[in-house]
Each structure stands twice: as C-alpha cells, then as structure tokens.
Amino acid sequence: MTQLDLDRYVPFFLSSIGNKLSRGASRVYLARFGVGVNEWRLLANLKVQGRATAGAICQASGIDKAAASRAVGRLDALGCIDTIETRDGRARLLALTPAGEALHDRIIDAALERERVLLTGFDEAERSQLIGLLRRLYANVGVLDGDS
C-alpha cells in the first residue's frame, strides 16, 4: 500500500507552515492590536490595492469567504473600512478609512518582524530564490485547481 512520505510531501509542508504562521500571527495580532490574521490580510490587501471587493481579496490570498466576511464585519465595526457600492450595484468595493490606515500602520512592523525571524539564516540570494519558487508554486495552484 502506498503512503505519503511527509518528510518529502510538499503540500504537507506548505499547509503546515501556513497553518502555524496563521495561528501564531492571529495570537500575536489579537493580543497586541485586537484583530486576527484575517483582518490583517484584508488591511494589507486594501493598503496595497486601494479598493477591492472581498471576493477579489479572497481569490488573491486564499482566504475562506466565510472568514473574510467575518473579518469585513469586524473591520467595519471598528470603523476601519468603508464599503462603496459600484455603479452596477452588484459588488461592494472595500477601502481603508483613516482608522484602517492607522491600524495597518501599527501592525505592519510586527508583520515584518515576524517575516524577518521566519527567514533567519537565509541570505538575500536564498530569499530571492525562495520567493521565485513560491511564485511558481502559486501559479501552479491556479492550474491545479483549474483557475487559469
């Protein structure tokens, strides 16, 4: 009978790393800033994109739609996002408010410090190589799931 070699099975490593990173980030961000990792992901995406639908953010970052909906509700209750109806009325664009910008700016240093610690021991060439490999994996997920 065939079984997985978890020491060499890439999806196991990726999901395990992602789960541990998310759980740790949520713990830190909740304790320090009062929001979890899903709220942070929305804040970060909106900071980069300016305006976006929750669906577009879910698609880009892999956030579950139910989790994203809860995060939108939480950020809305905190006054961190505005929702803007599109002309056709079918989609709602999200945008950061000044309070959302301020919350993002408080969390960003903690997020970058977590990344710095995660990459301890990697030199710049290894970091660049890792990012290139991860981008290729990201593209392949779309092919694997028929999204491309």
Structural domains in the chain plus CATH codes: 26-122 (1.10.10.10)
- Mean pLDDT value across the chain: 91
Mean pLDDT value across residues 30-48: 94
Q: What angle do CA 76, 82, 88 make, to 5 degrees?
A: 120
Interval 76-108: pLDDT, tens: 999 999 988 777 767 788 999 999 999 999 999
The arithmetic mean of pLDDT across residues 35-59, rounded, is 91
| Look-up of token digits 């092919």 | 143
User: In sequence order, what are the beta bridge partners of 96?
Assistant: 81
pLDDT of 119 reads 97
- For 91, the 3-state DSSP assignment is coil
Nearest to 59 by CA among 136, 123, 148: 148
Q: Tell me, what's the pLDDT at 68?
A: 87
Q: Is the pLDDT of residue 148 over 60?
A: no
Round to whole Å and give the CA distance between 7 and 18: 16
Phi, psi (degrees; rounded to nearest 5) at 130: -60, -45
The vertex-73 CA angle with 71 and 78, nearest 5°, equals 95
pLDDT by residue (tens digit) across 109-147?
999 999 999 999 999 999 999 999 999 998 898 788 776
Q: Could you give the CA distance from residue 116 to residue 119 in angstroms, rounded to a whole number?
A: 5
